[in-house]
Structure 1
Amino acid sequence: MDWLQVIVLAVVQGVTEFLPISSSAHLILVPVLTAWDDQGLAFDVALHLGSLAAVILYFRHEILRMVFSSVDALTGKGVNEDAKLALWVVVATLPVCIIGFLGRDLIAGHMRSTLIIGISLIAFGLLLGYADWKNRGSRSEYHMRMKDVMIIGFAQALALIPGTSRSGITITAALLLGMSREGAARFSFLLSIPVIVLAGGLEAVGLVSSPEPIDWPAMIVGTLLSGISAYLCIHYFLVVIKKLGMQPFVVYRVLFGAWLLWFFHF
């Protein structure tokens, strides 16, 4: 890979991983709009590693509290709100794991079309806009019930449909349940940790048996750029939604989805 390809792919991955605008919709354009060869499995793993490092670093204090509180809960020292939040993250991850495993062949073989991506961008974008306009609750990620967690978890499984956006659909569900914008976004970001670990782990397993050579300089730079762009994305996204809400992202999704449909199908 040349360095322009490394930079573009890393930044696109880092930014779109956490914004509610669908990473799959953006990454599908790269081979269409450029003459670049496929970046390879090793580079995909590196990009996921960068995104994972960013979200862990950003939420390091919350994660440490969740880990220590979970250990205390398991050793009989009581369950506090951090231990409960850790449990909610695990529970909400189960639906996407089960549905993703059972439906992986269908998703990989029949749903990665620009038609589905374009429609998903528009439909789920409008749903996000409705949720942000209709429900402006005040509950944080620490004030959820089991019912809320299960609904958000099954909503996350919808992100297996390309163009939906994992962060977009989980934030939408959380807003409809009466959570605040910040609480919905923060819980969505915490949910990304096990999902990225699982996705990156599956790619890493495939990498072990892959004969392709590893371009270590590109891997290192890609990881760093993906991580930096993802960290900045998380930080500024939380700032923007306090002032402007989700509507700018809704407008972007609808326009982008319409452009995809026009460009590929009309």
Structure 2
Amino acid sequence: MWDLLKAVALGTIQGLTEFLPISSSAHLRIFPELFGWGDPGAAFTAVIQIGTELAVLIYFRKDIWSIGTAWVKSIFKPEFRGTLETRMGWYIIIGSLPIVILGVLLKDLIERDFRNLWITGTALIVLGVVLGIADRFSRAEKPIKKLSLRDAVLMGLAQAMALIPGVSRSGATISMGRFLGFEREAATRFAFLLAIPAVVGAGLFELKEIPHGENTYGWAPTITATVVSFVVGYAAIAWLLRYVSTRSYTPFVIYRVLLGTATLALLWAGVLTS
């Protein structure tokens, strides 16, 4: 029963933080340690992210359907090959390759060394500053229809940095999108779509580790956390897209720096252990 209650809390944290540029993996690493629950593990973290990605699939179902059908048609019908939807399909596939390749090659580092809280705290601060600079100095003029293959590759490389807890998948991708001159909403929307193959793939890949890995929960808590993350995550998507259409990322930058600084201070004081 206690594990299920913890799973509800962790699922809520995942749902609230997955789409905000503040790093869900950092929160799932820091807060359980702060509460004395220990590290839930990379497998648990990856699997419950399936819940938030299911929220993305439902929220963007019309976009995903139009992109998917146009991409499939383009294989057989040349007239579909130049459309925005077909190009978006290729951009999502190609942009996903860096995180997939590095995720497989660096699996042991991701599950062990990268989960060090000193790294997490530092990443929160550094990428928070990067996000702030990108948002402040971006020309912010390009809509998503201006996305090119070069943009997709660069944003995909940025997304791959999220293999380090504290970076934030959406934060890294959005930062690169802003550096490339995209509007906040355009950068955020593509970041959400780009994350789908990587997050779902990682979650399915780690399913086999749930009953066996160290510092992980069993199936019942994992499923509970996944369902909760879906419900909370769906609400977070709608809120964030409304927010970024009129406001800056400054509050998230401040929060990242404060959380990263607090994490490093608690590590230095011995309250947290890395």
Q: What number of residue pairs does the alignment pair up?
A: 265
TM-score w.r.t. length of structure 2: 0.88
CA distance in 2, matches of 1:160, 1:41: 10
- Contact 1:152–1:170 (CA under 8 A) maintained in structure 2: yes
**Structure 1 stretch 131-140 or stretch 54-63: which is displaced more?**
131-140
3-state SS of 2:8 partner:
helix
Q: Distance in 1 between matches of 2:46 and 2:173?
A: 24
1:229 to 212, 221, 232: 232
**Distance in 1 (alpha carbons) for counterparts of 2:218 and 2:265:** 38
Any residues of structure 2 matched to 1:75-90 within 5 Å, and which? 75-76=76-77, 77-79=79-81, 80-90=83-93
The residue number in structure 1 matching 2:52 is 51
Partner of 1:8: 9
Deviation string 1:29-60 (CA, Å, 9 cap, x unpaired) is 23322244666898657623311210100100
Question: In structure 2, what is the Cα distance between the partners aligned to 1:113 and 1:137?
Answer: 35
Taking only aligned residues, the RMSD between alpha carbons, in angstroms, comes to 2.4
SS in 2 for 1:179: coil
Q: Residue 41 of structure 1 contacts residue 207 of structure 1 at CA under 8 Å; is this kept in 2? A: no
- Structure 1 residue 213: Cα displacement: 9.4
Distance 1:262 1:128 in 2: 22
Question: Is the Cα contact below 8 Å between 2:170 and 2:191 reproduced in 1?
Answer: yes
SS at match of 1:142: helix
Which amino acid letter does the alignment assign opposite residue 188 of structure 1? A
- 1:68 matched to 2:69: yes
Q: Does the CA contact (< 8 Å) of 1:43 and 1:222 recur in 2? A: no
Output the TM-score relative to the length of structure 1: 0.90
Q: 1:173-208, CA deviations, whole angstroms, 9 ceiling, x for partnerless residues?
A: 000001000000000000111011111111123348
Shift of the 108–183 alpha-carbon distance from structure 1 to 2, 3 Å rule, reads same
The C-alpha deviation readout for 1:137-178, integer Å capped at 9, x for no partner, is 222222211111111111111111221111100000000001
Q: 1:3-45 CA distances to partner (integer Å, 9 max, x unpaired)?
A: 4312211111112111110112211123322244666898657
Does structure 1 retain, via aligned residues, the 8 Å contact 2:33–2:39? no
- Residue pairs, 1:161-240, within 5 angstroms: 161-207=164-210, 216=220, 218=221, 220-240=223-243
Aligned counterparts of 2:193 and 2:43: Cα–Cα separation in 1: 25
Of 100-109 and 165-174, more deviation after overlay is shown by 100-109
Mapped pair 1:265 → 2:265: no
Contact persistence 2:48–2:223 (CA under 8 A): no
CA apart distance, 1:225: 1.5
Gap regions ≥5 residues in structure 1: none
Identical residues among aligned pairs (%): 37
Paired amino acid for 1:105: D
Does the aligned pair in 1 maintain the 2:32–2:40 contact within 8 Å? no
Shift of the alpha carbon at 1:135? 0.4
Pair 219,108 (structure 1): closer, same or farther in 2 beyond 3 Å: closer
Contact 2:28–2:40 (CA<8 Å) still a contact in 1?
A: no
Aligned partner of 2:138: which letter?
N
Deviation for aligned residue 1:220: 5.0
Which residue type is aligned with residue 178 of structure 1? G
Structure 1 position 85, deviation (Å): 0.4
Taking a change above 3 Å as real, the CA distance of residues 46 and 162 of structure 1, as seen in their structure-2 partners, is closer
* Residue 35 of structure 2 corresponds to residue 34 of structure 1: yes
Please tell me whether the aligned partners of residues 131 and 175 of structure 1 are also in contact (alpha carbons under 8 angstroms). yes
- What SS class does the counterpart of residue 28 from structure 1 fall into? helix
Q: Contact 2:125–2:256 at 8 Å: present in 1 too?
A: yes
Cα separation, 1, equivalents of 2:211 and 2:263: 35
- Residue 89 of structure 1 deviates from its aligned partner by 0.4
Compared with structure 1, are the counterparts of its residues 97 and 90 closer, same or farther at alpha carbon in structure 2 (3 Å cutoff)? Answer: same
Cα 1:199–1:237 shift into 2, 3 Å: same
Cα distance change on mapping 1:108 and 1:152 into 2, 3 Å? same
Which sections of structure 2, spanning at least 5 residues, go unmatched?
270-274
